[in-house]
Amino acid sequence: MTNEKNLELINSSSIYTQEPTLGRKFLFLELELLKRIVQLGWPVIFGMFTQSAINTIDLLMIGRLDDTVAVPGSAAVMSSLIILWAYGGFLSAISVGTQAIAARRFSEGNFTDAGQVLTNSLMVSLVSSIIISLFSIYTIEPVVALLSKDDIVKKMSVEYSSIRLLALPSMALMASFKSFYDSLGRVKIYMFVAIIMNIANTVINYFLIFGTEIFGLNIQPVGVNGAAWGSMLSSYIGLACIFIWSLRVQDRIKFKVFRIKNINFSIACKIALLSFWSGLATVVLMSGVGLFNYIVSTIDKAANLPSINSSASSIIIHIMMMVFMSALAFGTSTSTLVSQSIGAKKIALAKRYVWQCVILALYATVIFGIIVFIFPKTILSLFLPADLNGNDLKDLVIEQAIPSLRITALLLSPASAAGLVLTQALYGTGETKFIMIVEFVLHFFCLVPLAWFLSLYFGFGLMGCWLAAVIYGFLLFLVTAIKFYKGSWENLKL
């Protein structure tokens, strides 16, 4: 009787665990599953696009400053974001453990247990983020020195990073809230919060970067650092919004999150341990990206160029973030679908969700790649518009970026998108340690050495770095696809 009661709760709690029969297909896509994936995925994509737009808007606005500030400023933002993503990504990995465990408890019909997961996730996030924030700000100067050889870029990076790192606690706590609501399938909540964050960031950026006079108050322009303040403050505005939402009566009654007796060392450790490998994978990933960035900076130094390649690479990465964020968003949705399906004892449904999402990601990114391949200069010019004074430094950056952007959009986009979807799906099954090992091997035995050999030893320059990234993307796709196909994750207990 207990099992029958739990099954009734599962079926009533989520439509995503109801397994449809094999129906009509269109271009290998099951229309019923496609409808569910898009229904769950589009708010996540919109939310993550909006979140990533905070960094993109920083770059777009900085690109409208004078050449002497815009070019090194764009390179500095990239160096700073590597640092922020390394520390912030490690902390935000709490979302992996939170989402995987909360989705299982929710699909089992244990709502208060799902709420207890959030309680302990918030506790882990708060403690760990305070410790890491203090450490990251104290060590910022030597870390920045490892990412760039340009003195101007290093100075800008230290100032920009010191401000952005103040937002680490808000990033960690936001990850706990977001992953909990994502695990329930309530993905629109974060979407609206991200919209509010982005609006706040845009307004604050404009006032602080360029300066203005409003209501008799004269705001002096802060330049590149103004973008850092806007991003940091908007992060806390977003946290305040989602916290207020969590205080709604319906959620407090159903999930009982804010109870002291919810704090459980065993649950906190389980969340932290499951998330730790994901966090370590993020640190490994960003360490690899940092070394990649250093190699690009070395190309500039060897040719005695003023951050031309570094700025070009920074813009390519921000354009490619459209692919990465879309893939991560669909991957996050897939992780929820997989976790709920496993919790409902429907392994076959979990597999169908994942392969359908991979096919969808491939179709979308191939279209994206073709568009970027045809119109690279138009897209790059959005980030570095021409100056009225006729200075050609921005034009040099754009011309340098075009070949690498084309090959990256056409080849790296589909490979990395499929690989990221499978990575997130494996996170949802609990295979976090495997992903960390894969990222370590691919970054330090593939991406970094290949980038060095192709760009510096064989003389391919910036193109060599991005060819190495393409090879990395295809290998990530291949390894994660084989791992998921073999099905060793099916019996993991969370």
Q: What's the first-to-final CA gap in the chain, in angstroms?
A: 24
Angle subtended at Cα 335 by Cα 53 and Cα 185, rounded to the nearest 5 degrees: 75
C-beta separation of 490 from 338 below 8 A: no
Residue 6 has a pLDDT of 45
List the chain residues with pLDDT less than 70.
Answer: 1-14, 23-24, 51-52, 215-216, 386-392, 492, 494
C-beta separation of 442 from 471 below 8 A: no
C-beta separation of 64 from 212 below 8 A: no
Q: What is the C-alpha separation between 275 and 97, in angstroms, rounded?
A: 5
Q: What is the C-alpha separation between 11 and 29, in angstroms, rounded?
A: 24
Residue 5 has a pLDDT of 44
Q: Which residues pair with 26 in a beta bridge?
A: 29
The length of the chain in residues reads 494
Residue 2 has a pLDDT of 43
- Nearest CA-CA partner of 42 in 342, 282, 360: 360
Cβ atoms within 10 Å, residue 31? 12
Q: What is the C-alpha separation between 181 and 190, in angstroms, rounded?
A: 8
Q: What is the C-alpha separation between 226 and 177, in angstroms, rounded?
A: 28
Please give the biggest Cα pair distance in the chain: 79
Residue 46 has a pLDDT of 76
Q: pLDDT tens digits, residue range 193-213? A: 988 998 999 899 888 888 877
Q: pLDDT tens digits, residue range 364-408? A: 899 999 999 999 999 988 887 765 455 567 788 889 999 999 999
Which amino acid belongs to residue 454?
L
Measured torsion, CA atoms of residues 41, 45, 46, 47, in degrees rounded to the nearest 10 = 100
Phi, psi of 200 (to 5 degrees): -60, -45
What is the per-residue burial (b if ≥16 Cβ within 10 Å, else e) of 219-246? eeebbbbbbbbbbbbbbbbbbebbeebb
Q: pLDDT tens digits, residue range 67-76? A: 778 778 878 8
Residue 388 has a pLDDT of 44
Residue 391 has a pLDDT of 54
Q: Which residues pair with 38 in a beta bridge?
A: none
C-beta separation of 425 from 336 below 8 A: no
